[in-house]
Amino acid sequence: MDTELDLTALRAFHSVVRAGSFAAAARDLNAPRSTIAKRVADLETSLGVRLVERTTRSMRVTTEGEVLAARAERLLAEANDLRRTLTDSGQAPRGHLRIGVPDLFEQITMGRVGARLRKAHPDITLEVVTSHGQGDLMESDLDAVIIFGPLPDSSLVSRLLVRGSMTLVAAPDLPGLDSLRHPRDLLKLPLIDVPSHWVREWRFVREDEDEVLRIAPAISFTSMLAARDAALLGAGVAKLPTILAQAEIREGRLVKVLPDWDAPAKDLYVLVPSARSVTTRLRAFLNVLGQDLTEAAEAGRLQLA
């Protein structure tokens, strides 16, 4: 029996446990389901134990599998640390970076950051991928992930990048705007929503007042950009990240709605496996990202941490 751990197989097993099924793990790792199943089976053979009991309809992690799963995340993180340490020359930043970011952040920020990084450090190649959370950091072999908070409990190293800021906006000629005095008055107008996990609530804060509004939106999107475009064309009131609406507000194509009330937003963080994982190329990327965010803050589009 060969008891040496195959990290590729271990990564597949950890993904299966985290995702809850072989099919979901295959999607997370962008690999065929049969490949994931074979890697887990090979791991079981090498260790001489059953890790997952599976039928055509369900799966169950065995006691031995639970023991391995509890250690797998740390083992994978340490392996990634070692890889990054050995491939970091300590000279001018060079090499390949894989950064996971949320969809919206990629759309409104990463184009500029990528161009600036290329200009400042031509020996760095950058790959930006869609990321849905801290689990992607090990599963997808990423150098760092950028996520919206709050942060889950984790041994990963985090750094706050941006304080969240949301703004309620509408086209200036939307009927009924003049009658708005309180968040409850919004229920009289068509609302445009981008729900988080399909939660149909908007929260507003003003001094010691805290109002949670249950809404029935006229239009729902999964994209903030789509919500902004609909608001620009007069479809209703939308709650958008300030950075996404600032230019349109400045140009008068959108107006702030209920400006005395704050709409809380999620903060933005960068996560890395450990302090040792910050290579010279990753540090170069974070410096360029910080410069871009600083300029956005100076322009009034966001609030830095």
Q: pLDDT for 138-149, tens place per residue? A: 556 788 888 877
Given a contact cutoff of 8 angstroms between Cβ atoms, the answer to whether 160 and 271 are in contact is no
Q: Which regions of the chain carry the CATH code 3.40.190.290?
A: 166-256
Task: Report the pLDDT value the prediction gives residue 120, as an integer from 0 to 100.
Answer: 93
Phi, psi of 199 (to 5 degrees): -85, 120
* DSSP type of residue 31: S
Q: Which residues in the chain are classed under CATH 3.40.190.10?
A: 88-162+267-304
Tens of pLDDT, residues 124-170: 999 998 876 655 555 567 888 888 776 665 667 778 887 777 899 99
Residue 48 per-residue DSSP state: T
Which residues, 6+ apart, have CB-to-CB distance to 204 below 8 Å? 183, 210, 211, 212, 213, 258, 261, 262, 263
* Rounded distance between C-alpha atoms, residue 263 and residue 164, angstroms: 10
First-residue to last-residue Cα distance in the chain = 52
Q: How far apart are CA 127 and CA 201, in angstroms?
A: 35
pLDDT value at residue 245: 87
Report the predicted TM-score, pTM, of the whole model to 2 decimal places. Answer: 0.59
Where does residue 163 rank: exposed (0-12), middle (13-18), buried (19+ CB within 10 A)? middle
pLDDT at 81: 63
Would you state the structure tokens that stand for residue 12, as one six-digit string? 């597949």
Tokens of 207: 């001094």
Dist. CA 141–CA 219, nearest whole Å: 37
- As its CATH architecture, domain 7-76 has Orthogonal Bundle (1.10)
Within the chain, all domains assigned CATH 1.10.10.10 are found at: 7-76
Phi and psi dihedrals of 211, rounded to 5? -120, 125
Run of H or E residues at 138? helix 136-139
pLDDT for residue 1: 45
Query: What is the pairing mode between strands 144-148 and 268-272?
Result: antiparallel
Q: pLDDT band at residue 83, thresholds of 50, 70 and 90?
A: low
Give the pLDDT mean for 219-238.
94
The pLDDT tens digits of the residues spanning 176-213 come to 999 999 999 999 999 999 886 566 889 899 888 889 99
DSSP sequence for 157-221: EEEEEEE--EEEEE-TT-TTGGG--SGGGGGGS-EEE--BTTB-EEEEEETTEEEEEE---SEE-
The residue with greater pLDDT, 209 or 82, is 209
Q: Looking at residues 88-103, what average pLDDT do you find?
A: 80
pLDDT averaged over every residue in the chain: 83
Q: Residue 73: its pLDDT value, please? A: 74
Q: Write down the CATH superfamily of domain 88-162+267-304.
A: Periplasmic binding protein-like II (3.40.190.10)
How large a percentage of the chain has pLDDT more than 90? 30
Edge-to-edge order in the sheet of strand 157-163: 124-130, 95-101, 144-148, 268-272, 157-163, 303-304
pLDDT bracket for residue 219 (50, 70, 90): very high
Above 60 in pLDDT, residue 174? yes
pLDDT value at 297 more than 70: no
Matching CATH number, 166-256, of 3.40.190.290, 3.30.70.890, 3.40.50.11260, 3.40.640.10: 3.40.190.290
C-beta separation of 190 from 233 below 8 A: no
